[in-house]
Copies of this chain bind each other. A is one copy, B any other.
Amino acid sequence: MHYSQESLATLDSRFRAHLINSLSGFKSANLIGTQDSQGQTNLAIVSSVFHLGAHPPLVGMIIRPHSVARHTFENILETKVYTINQVNADIVSQAHQTSARYDKEESEFTMTGLTPETLADFKAPFVAQSHLKYAVQFREHQHLAINGTELVIGEIIDLHVKDGAIQEDGFIDLEALNTVTVSGLDSYHKTQIIERLPYAKKENYRD
């Protein structure tokens, strides 16, 4: 099956959205918890959270400022903090439902039945049902003029992981946490480990 640049451009826009969203491969599934300066909470599922660096511990995500994630972006600029909460198999449908277009005064926590949790007085809500979650200090955003999106970068400042999932070398067993992955716009998947591979060196290749 082959699509040229011209055939991609003439696809029905919904078909193209599904198709192009599938191309990058499997994505992370995370809930972004925020609140405004009056304490009105918001929760939004985001599939574009990515690792940016370990030292300092930085995480990036792409937000469309005029999409349903607009309140998330506004709250981050207002309070400079947010939480990232991994989605597990038990909360997939509630997590997905946070992508509905609720009004600002309708908290997605209330509307979907997920439970806001305050940890260590942090000024953004965590998701009680998530097994891996962390507090993030907003560091900067970059406007990507090429398509009007925003790259939001934050520093991980406080990490909460369910007991037993962190292995001796620091690797976190996401399968022990039931963490899911997303493909396309709306498909949720469990995972099954194939293997962990050793650090790749020129001399140690086993074919």
**Known interface pairs A54-B17, A196-B186; A3-B172 also in contact (CB < 8 Å):** no
State in angstroms the CA–CA spacing of A15 and B29 once bound together.
24
State in angstroms the CA–CA spacing of A26 and B175 once bound together.
10
Assess whether B23 is in contact with A132, with CB atoms less than 8 Å apart. Answer: yes
State in angstroms the CA–CA spacing of A100 and B198 once bound together.
11
Q: Which residue of B lies closest to A119 (CB)?
A: B2
Task: Flag A149-185 by CB within 8 Å of B: 1 or 0 each.
Answer: 1010100111111110111011110110001110111
Assess whether A139 is in contact with B134, with CB atoms less than 8 Å apart. Answer: no
| Residues of B with C-beta under 8 A to A198 | 186
Assess whether B52 is in contact with A149, with CB atoms less than 8 Å apart. Answer: yes
**A residues in contact (CB < 8 Å) with B:** 1-5, 8, 11-30, 47-60, 62, 84, 86-87, 89, 92-94, 96-102, 111-113, 132, 134, 139-140, 142, 144, 146-147, 149, 151, 153, 156-163, 165-167, 169-172, 174-175, 179-181, 183-202, 205-207
